[in-house]
């Protein structure tokens, strides 16, 4: 039985979400009207997972999330709006420790609950099994116990791995790095990309499962955190070294061959691929234009199996694939499927992936 605490200041939302989860045989549900009540309920109810509204009076979603993660860490799924402001706040929440988020439908929630509800149930089930890293915000948790207030989260240094199991990729021009992620992906992308130099030799293309209103803010956020130049792919572009290209949400990102070199372009989502931007479609289109031994694939945290099939094929054709290790993945779905399929050249913790990539693409 999954013990779920629903936190929302809207009586209608509490009623609708309570009914959605009450209809599932594996949930026990409690509700809270605001952040203060949520903290009291967490201590009494001891939930396995919490859904937390971003916008609440008094102790808002971010402040409540801070208290949860610093005092009694628990998997949290944020409920956010699809606006640009909502996206920025949600990405901030993911950086503070939230496991995942679901964007609320626009318009009348009561009319959209049949579509919105199953997606939320799926994400909450996955979050209930999510792995919270013991070291996440550890310094702040210690400070909060002694001082009673959270402080800014320090950026963690990456401890580079000295060991490697895959062959070194030849130093040839025209190579590309493909990255796939889903649940837990934005903070993982931060950890990976912030450790790469601005003159990294190959372009990096990212398929991060997200709604279309969130990938632009994600690209801008990463651009401010990394030495690399980061942009969202909203139109066809020529790929350049030292640049990261984030696929637009609710669509796919594909690799093309242009007169000036390799390119990336947005493409309408395809029914053969249930998650978007699709990692499998990204890799498939890359293999159509680039020799496999000039591709490095990285599959990071996320539920499902997107990317496992295509990256296994890529490795069989001579490419190198890195899978995030189970101990650092929020959800070891996508990278775990790659490992089980025999498609991972290297399995490495998140804090060593950048070092492995720099070893392969010096």
**CATH number for 296:** 3.40.50.180
In a domain? residue 144? no
Q: Please choose, from the candidates 213, 208, 210, 183, the residue with its C-alpha nearest in 3D space to the C-alpha of residue 193.
A: 208
Which pLDDT belongs to residue 328? Answer: 96
What is the C-alpha to C-alpha distance for residues 129 and 138, in angstroms, rounded to an integer?
A: 21
Pick from 98, 128, 158: which residue ends a domain?
128
CATH code assigned at 47: 3.40.50.2300
Same domain as 203, residue 264: yes
Q: Please choose, from the candidates 201, 204, 205, the residue with its C-alpha nearest in 3D space to the C-alpha of residue 173.
A: 201
In a domain? residue 68? yes
Residue 2 pairs in a beta bridge with: 27
What is the C-alpha to C-alpha distance for residues 39 and 332, in angstroms, rounded to an integer?
A: 29
pLDDT > 90: percent of the chain: 78
The pair of three-digit structure tokens given for residue 285, joined into one six-digit string: 């289109």
In a domain? residue 13? yes
In a domain? residue 152? no
Same domain as 67, residue 189: no
Per-residue pLDDT tens over the stretch 31-77? 999 999 999 999 999 999 999 999 898 899 999 999 999 999 999 99
Q: Give alpha helix (H) positions in the chain.
A: 11-22, 35-45, 61-71, 84-96, 109-128, 138-147, 185-193, 212-225, 279-287, 308-316, 334-340, 350-360
What is the C-alpha to C-alpha distance for residues 120 and 123, in angstroms, rounded to an integer?
A: 5
Same domain as 105, residue 190: no
**Which residues are the active-site residues?**
182, 209, 306
What is the C-alpha to C-alpha distance for residues 362 and 359, in angstroms, rounded to an integer?
A: 6
Same domain as 219, residue 115: no
Give me the number of domains the chain comprises. 2
Domain ranges, residue 262: 176-360
In a domain? residue 186? yes
Same domain as 121, residue 188: no
Predicted TM-score (pTM) of this structure: 0.87
In a domain? residue 39? yes
Same domain as 105, residue 253: no
Mean pLDDT rounded to a whole number for the chain = 89
Same domain as 185, residue 320: yes
**Would the pLDDT of 165 be above 60?**
no
- pLDDT band at residue 106 under the 50/70/90 scheme: confident
In a domain? residue 31? yes
Q: Mention every residue, 6+ apart, whose C-beta is less than 8 A from residue 358.
A: 196
Same domain as 247, residue 323: yes
Same domain as 101, residue 33: yes
**Would the pLDDT of 136 be above 70?**
no
Same domain as 337, residue 246: yes
Distances (CA, A) of 195 to 171, 176, 198, 349: 20, 18, 10, 14
Same domain as 329, residue 197: yes
Q: What is the DSSP string of 65-114?
A: HHHHHHHS---EEEEE-SSHHHHHHHHHHHHHT--EEEEPPSS-HHHHHH
Which pLDDT belongs to residue 81? Answer: 82
Among 100-109, 156-165, 331-340, the range with the most confident prediction by mean pLDDT is 331-340
């Amino acid at each position: 039985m999954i013990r779920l605490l629903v936190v929302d200041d809207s009586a209608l939302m509490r009623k609708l979400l309570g009914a959605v989860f009450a209809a599932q045989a594996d949930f026990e549900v409690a509700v809270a009207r605001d952040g203060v009540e949520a903290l009291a309920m967490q201590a009494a109810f001891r939930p396995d997972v919490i859904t937390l509204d971003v916008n609440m009076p008094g102790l808002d979603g971010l402040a409540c999330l801070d208290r949860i993660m610093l005092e009694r860490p628990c998997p949290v799924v944020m409920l956010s709006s699809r606006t640009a402001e909502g996206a920025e706040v949600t990405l901030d929440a993911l950086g503070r420790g939230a496991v995942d988020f679901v964007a609320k439908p626009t318009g009348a929630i009561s009319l959209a609950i049949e579509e919105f509800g199953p997606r939320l149930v799926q994400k909450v089930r996955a979050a209930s099994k999510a792995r919270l890293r013991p070291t996440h915000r550890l310094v702040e948790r210690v400070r909060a116990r002694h001082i009673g207030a959270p402080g800014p989260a320090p950026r963690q240094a990456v401890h580079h791995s000295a060991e490697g199991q895959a062959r070194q990729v030849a130093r040839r021009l025209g190579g590309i790095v493909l990255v796939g992620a889903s649940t837990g992906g934005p903070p993982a992308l931060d950890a990976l990309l912030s450790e790469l130099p601005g003159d990294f030799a190959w372009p990096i293309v990212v398929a991060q499962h997200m709604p279309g209103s969130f990938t632009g803010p994600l690209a801008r956020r990463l651009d401010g955190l990394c030495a690399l130049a980061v942009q969202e792919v909203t139109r066809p572009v020529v790929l350049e070294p030292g640049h990261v290209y984030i696929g637009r949400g609710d669509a796919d990102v594909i690799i093309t061959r242009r007169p000036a070199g390799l390119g990336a372009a947005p493409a309408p989502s395809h029914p053969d691929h249930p998650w978007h931007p699709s990692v499998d479609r990204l890799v498939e289109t890359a293999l159509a234009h680039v020799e496999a031994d000039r591709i490095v694939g990285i599959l990071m945290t996320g539920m499902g199996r997107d990317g496992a099939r295509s990256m296994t094929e890529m490795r069989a054709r001579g490419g190198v694939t890195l899978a995030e290790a189970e101990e650092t993945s929020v959800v070891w779905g996508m990278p775990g499927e790659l490992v089980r399929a025999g498609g991972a050249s290297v399995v490495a913790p998140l804090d060593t992936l950048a070092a492995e990539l720099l070893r392969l693409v010096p």
